[in-house]
Chain A
Amino acid sequence: EAQVTQNPRYLITVTGKKLTVTCSQNMNHEYMSWYRQDPGLGLRQIYYSMNVEVTDKGDVPEGYKVSRKEKRNFPLILESPSPNQTSLYFCASSLSPIGGHYGYTFGSGTRLTVV
């Protein structure tokens, strides 16, 4: 089944403890990106990647890192999480940055709480 897999689905952590949210897709998509969803703000793009080793900042990149060493994986790294990074996170992929005929494929989301 074609899908984007994010792990974990839920995570509670403490301020300053480094964490990684994994994202993997099995559709050979070149484009991948990360979003955070907050009430009243919709989804905001954190980082995106056009292809392996090509990443760029979205609208809210502060406090996050990404890497794209393989086409299928695009992990989101929080080096020193803070409470304002408590949010619902989504990973997405697509054949191209403009989305395919069926748009972007999103993962199921990761609900992160930083205390």
Chain B
Amino acid sequence: AQKVTQAQTEISVVEKEDVTLDCVYETRDTTYYLFWYKQPPSGELVFLIRRNSFDEQNEISGRYSWNFQKSTSSFNFTITASQVVDSAVYFCALSEAAGGTSYGKLTFGQGTILTVHP
């Protein structure tokens, strides 16, 4: 069975601070996909990134960056120079590829509530 753990329930920072959201996953399959979603106060789920298990390159998109390490089964998300608009709940999720025991299932972590204070 697959599992995603976001150990940080809530994080509070002051604007312009860097913040890292942790995500640890468990899966028995060798091919899988990892996602990050943002849920702002308005409630919708906003896609941020998808990464497959064969691509361990770190990714940077503006102030956002992701660090994928298969050795520690982690897919951490860093926001540089945080802004008030980054305040949201952030979810990490895992999906297994075809042939996997949980193919078709998308498993989310519990979410991390990020509050950025002015």
Which residues from chain A contact B93 at a C-beta distance below 8 Å?
A: 43
Give chain A's interface secondary structure class: strand
- The residues in A between 65 and 88 inclusive whose CB is less than 8 angstroms from any CB of B are 88
Which residues from chain A contact B49 at a C-beta distance below 8 Å?
A: 103
Min C-beta distance of A46 to chain B, whole Å: 11
B70 within 8 A of partner (CB)? no
Number of B residues with CB within 8 Å of any CB on chain A: 27
Contacts known (A99-B33, A103-B50, A108-B44); A58 close to B105, Cβ less than 8 A: yes
Query: Which of A40, A45, A50 interacts with B106 by CB under 8 Å?
Result: A45
Min C-beta distance of B34 to chain A, whole Å: 10
Bound: A50/B95 CA distance, A: 14
Min C-beta distance of A9 to chain B, whole Å: 9
B37 within 8 A of partner (CB)? yes
Are A104 and B43 in contact, CB atoms less than 8 angstroms apart?
no
B108 within 8 A of partner (CB)? yes
- The residues in B between 90 and 110 inclusive whose CB is less than 8 angstroms from any CB of A are 91, 93, 95-98, 103-110
Bound: A101/B55 CA distance, A: 14
- The residues in B between 47 and 104 inclusive whose CB is less than 8 angstroms from any CB of A are 47, 49-50, 91, 93, 95-98, 103-104
Q: Which residues of B contact A (CB under 8 A)?
A: 4, 6, 9, 33, 35, 37, 43-45, 47, 49-50, 91, 93, 95-98, 103-111
Given contacts A45-B105, A102-B47, 5 further A-B contacts (CB under 8 A): A59-B105, A92-B106, A98-B95, A98-B97, A101-B50
Can you offer 13 A-B residue contacts whose CB atoms are under 8 A?
A42-B6, A43-B91, A43-B108, A48-B104, A48-B105, A92-B106, A97-B104, A99-B33, A99-B50, A99-B106, A106-B44, A108-B44, A109-B44
Q: Which residues of A contact B (CB under 8 A)?
A: 31, 33, 35, 40-45, 48, 50, 56, 58-59, 88, 90, 92, 97-99, 101-106, 108-109
The 6 A-B pairs of least Cβ separation, nearest first, read: A103-B47, A106-B45, A43-B108, A42-B108, A42-B110, A97-B104
